[in-house]
Structure 1
Amino acid sequence: MTKINHLLLFICMAGCLVACKKDSVEDNHDPIAQFTTDTNAIRAFVTKNNIVTKKDEQFGVFYQIIAPGTGNIEYVSTTQVTANYTGRLLDGTEFDSKNGAVFTMGGLIGGWQIGIPLIQKGGKIRLIIPSFYAYGNVRNGPVPANSVLDFTIEITDLK
């Protein structure tokens, strides 16, 4: 069941990126080459900063579980997540930070949909997300196109 959900997530993300083509940085964007570039940048970043991470082998999102939290919520697309989080670029630039933000799992970027289910209420995780599972080759506010994102997320409530 989980593999089917991940496959559907991948297809939806690919569709979203295709739909946003008019806003992309370049028409000849190669997502596979960008994914390789992102993965190499993440590996260099975690090595340089001595961050112990695991890599989700199916999707390539890097993560560090700081605290697993407690509970047994099975995440679905309608799960409501309340979180405190900070988002940074790999150069350390903070682009977003919120306390008590409320989201629905199905409305989150792919990297969060992959990483959040690894923890429960009270849990804290660091996600280092390749651009494909973030905003792809589209600029999103202060986040440049093709940006790897570094989030620290604490789940304060789940419904």
Structure 2
Amino acid sequence: MKKLLVAFSILTFFISCSNDSGLQRIPEQIDYSAENEKEITEYLTKNNLTAVKTGTGLHYIITEEGTGKKPTLESNITVTYKGSLTNGTVFDQSTTNVTFPLKRLIAGWQEALPLFKEGGSGILYIPAHLGYGGDKVQNIPAGSVLIFEIKLITVN
């Protein structure tokens, strides 16, 4: 009886994870790229800002050039930052200098920070696919454009 119950449970699991063709279902991934691009360009226009756009859809503005070295993906970076949404909601902010390994941060930071020099600062407009994608993270809704104001203090 016990073996029958285990077999039934396993069968139920596979049936619930498959579609009519018997193939396992993969959660649907939503592409926010077009929506995010529109949101970023409207935000920039509304706030009379001019940003550089990369091939991945990241937009950035270097507000202070800096004079030091540029980080690589293998660098530890010390920064101050403020993260917000396009509606102005601040979702995270450093109150002191914080150090991170760049390779452990979201793709938007990994792409943008090597464009900065030590002592430099700027603003990143990160589409969802370079941020948290379709996942809701704490108080950040799924598919959100992330705005980060960053000051790169040191590169180690």
Q: TM-score range by the shorter chain?
A: 0.7 to 0.9
- After TM superposition, give the deviation of residue 72 of structure 1 in Å: 3.0
Whole-Å separation in 1 of the counterparts to 2:141 and 2:50: 26
**2:118/2:154 contact within 8 Å kept:** yes
Structure 2 counterpart of 1:52: 50
Whole-Å separation in 2 of the counterparts to 1:72 and 1:144: 35
Structure 1 counterpart of 2:154: 157
Whole-Å separation in 2 of the counterparts to 1:66 and 1:101: 20
Structure 2 counterpart of 1:41: 39
Structure 1 counterpart of 2:10: none
Whole-Å separation in 2 of the counterparts to 1:65 and 1:77: 19
SS for the counterpart of 2:148 is strand
Q: Pick from 110, 113, 126 the counterpart of residue 113 of structure 1.
A: 110
- After TM superposition, give the deviation of residue 28 of structure 1 in Å: 2.9
**2:78/2:152 contact within 8 Å kept:** yes
More helix by share: 1
Structure 2, gaps ≥5 residues long: 1-26
TM-score by length of 2: 0.79
- After TM superposition, give the deviation of residue 68 of structure 1 in Å: 1.5
Whole-Å separation in 2 of the counterparts to 1:46 and 1:77: 28
Aligned: 1:103 with 2:86: no
Aligned: 1:147 with 2:150: no
Whole-Å separation in 1 of the counterparts to 2:29 and 2:102: 28
- How many residues matched? 130
Query: RMSD of the TM alignment (CA)?
Result: 1.4
Q: Pick from 67, 71, 76 the counterpart of residue 70 of structure 1.
A: 67
- After TM superposition, give the deviation of residue 85 of structure 1 in Å: 0.2
Whole-Å separation in 2 of the counterparts to 1:142 and 1:129: 17
Cα displacement string for residues 2-55 of structure 1 (whole angstroms, at most 9, x for unaligned residues): xxxxxxxxxxxxxxxxxxxxxxxxx43332xx1111001100010011111110
- After TM superposition, give the deviation of residue 119 of structure 1 in Å: 0.9
- After TM superposition, give the deviation of residue 78 of structure 1 in Å: 2.2
Structure 1, gaps ≥5 residues long: 1-26
Structure 1 counterpart of 2:121: 124
TM-score by length of 1: 0.78
Whole-Å separation in 2 of the counterparts to 1:101 and 1:135: 21
Whole-Å separation in 2 of the counterparts to 1:97 and 1:120: 21
Whole-Å separation in 1 of the counterparts to 2:128 and 2:60: 15
- After TM superposition, give the deviation of residue 63 of structure 1 in Å: 0.4
